[in-house]
Amino acid sequence: MTTPSLLILAGDGIGPEVMAEVRRVIGWFGDKRGLTFDVTEDLVGGAAYDAHGTPLTDETMAKAQSVDAVLLGAVGGPKYDALDFSVKPERGLLRLRKEMDLFANLRPAQCFDALADFSSLKKDVVAGLDIMIVRELTSGIYFGEPRGIITEGNERVGINTQRYTESEIERVARNAFELAMKRGKKLCSMEKANVMESGVLWREVVTRVGADYPEVELSHMYADAGAMQLCRWPKQFDVIVTDNLFGDLLSDAAAMLTGSLGMLPSASLGAPMENGRPKAMYEPVHGSAPDIAGQGKANPIACVLSFAMALRYSFDLGDEADRLESAVSAVLEKGVRTADLLGEEGVTPVSTTGMGDAILAALDESL
């Protein structure tokens, strides 16, 4: 049996720190569960620009195309703000998504019971929250043409184009319906069909795909109303499918319902490879947090849970993913907290490495 392959791109800021804890978790699964991975590492974002003058080399892109999964830390930081747009660290991330054709971005918003008080909403509104947002990732306004800044008369005009084909909408919708079938069989599609032709097409295609999934309860909602409902009563949702722009906004809003961006993973999935597994990249939702980089304050949980998603979606190891997620939950129940989660009485403050220690100890206890 071929050893599953994993490319680690730690990136910038706190990326290397949180990824170091994931490497320890990967090592634990090898030592204690006999699950070995062929792991290689490379550079992306600002780190790649510093070394090579580009946020992603062709060689690294080729590696990403050849492995079973990519695990990414974070990219960017103020150091790179003055760079030309074409070589900013984020362009490396966008290139990975585009060239690997990772069209479905899965962003769970799950509120651990131990952290319900950290949400800005009332505890009864968020306790037990478990939403999956499926965001289309490779089309829409972030990629549409024409785009740019032009001059009209005596002023400049910024142009971005929202563009979707039927096939682009259909494939992400089908992915969302498949997920809904494995969860609560409830799917809400969000767009702006009242003012955007792309939204009209989106609604039509999602409705058509829904006919193939009669067991799934399909509803439609304008994205601005969806944002309001996420803040009012988020537990009404199970799976949400939406476009690139609205998915970016709605998933960040849903993330903060849970209390901390440092807690949330994501998966970006593409078409199946020859082995039947989807091309995939996994990354925490949080950014590079340069203000705390190198201080041992970063919360590694989002990156650890991103690896749990890789176990589930890329390596068909759902039971081991459950084991890792349960270990994280157990650590939080014991009151172990990194700096972003302090504020309660009776908690145990730990560093980035200390949180990794606690997760490994909980994994040991799971055996």
Are 231 and 149 in the same domain? yes
Rounded average pLDDT over 325-341: 93
Are 233 and 313 in the same domain? no
Asked if 192 is an active-site residue, the reply is yes
- Please count the structural domains in the chain: 2
Binding-site annotation, residues for NAD(+): 77-90, 287-299
pLDDT at site 277: 80
Binding-site annotation, residues for substrate: 97, 107, 135, 224
Are 219 and 298 in the same domain? no
Question: Who wins on pLDDT, 131 or 277?
Answer: 131
Q: What is the pLDDT of residues 59-84, one digit of tens each?
A: 999 999 999 999 999 999 999 999 99
On whether the CB atoms of residues 285 and 256 are closer than 8 A, the answer is no
Lowest mean pLDDT among 67-71, 114-118, 246-250: 114-118
Question: Who wins on pLDDT, 235 or 342?
Answer: 235
What percent of the chain stands above pLDDT 90? 82
pLDDT at site 345: 77
Rounded average pLDDT over 17-31: 98
pTM, two decimals, is: 0.89
Asked if 224 is an active-site residue, the reply is yes
Binding-site annotation, residues: 77-90, 97, 107, 135, 224, 248, 252, 287-299
Look over the chain and give the mean of its residue pLDDT values, rounded to a whole number. Answer: 94
Asked if 142 is an active-site residue, the reply is yes
Identify the H or E element spanning 174.
helix 166-182
Asked if 213 is an active-site residue, the reply is no
Residue 119 pLDDT greater than 90, yes or no: no
Q: Determine, yes or no, domain membership for 163.
A: yes
Rounded average pLDDT over 278-292: 93
Q: Which domain holds residue 361?
A: 1-107+265-367
Q: Name the residue among 18, 74, 20 with its Cα closest to residue 45.
A: 74
pLDDT at site 58: 98
Q: Which of 224, 235, 322, 334 is catalytic?
A: 224
Binding-site annotation, residues for Mg(2+): 224, 248, 252
Are 147 and 241 in the same domain? yes
Are 194 and 275 in the same domain? no
Q: Which of 68, 164, 192, 340 is catalytic?
A: 192
Q: How confident is the model at residue 1 (pLDDT cuts 50, 70, 90)?
A: low
Q: Which of 50, 101, 130, 252 is catalytic?
A: 252
Asked if 68 is an active-site residue, the reply is no
Burial class (CB in 10 A: 0-12, 13-18, 19+), 102: buried
Amino acid, res. 91: R
Are 86 and 144 in the same domain? no
Q: Determine, yes or no, domain membership for 155.
A: yes
Q: Which of 42, 49, 142, 222 is catalytic?
A: 142
Q: Which of 213, 248, 282, 340 is catalytic?
A: 248
DSSP per residue over 275-343, as a string? TSPEEEEEEESS---TTTTTTT----HHHHHHHHHHHHHTS--HHHHHHHHHHHHHHHHTTEE-GGG--
Rounded average pLDDT over 198-210: 98
* Domain CATH code at residue 79: 3.40.718.10
Are 208 and 93 in the same domain? no
Region for 219 from its dihedrals, namely left if φ exceeds 0, alpha if ψ lies in -120 to 50, beta otherwise: beta
pLDDT at site 252: 85
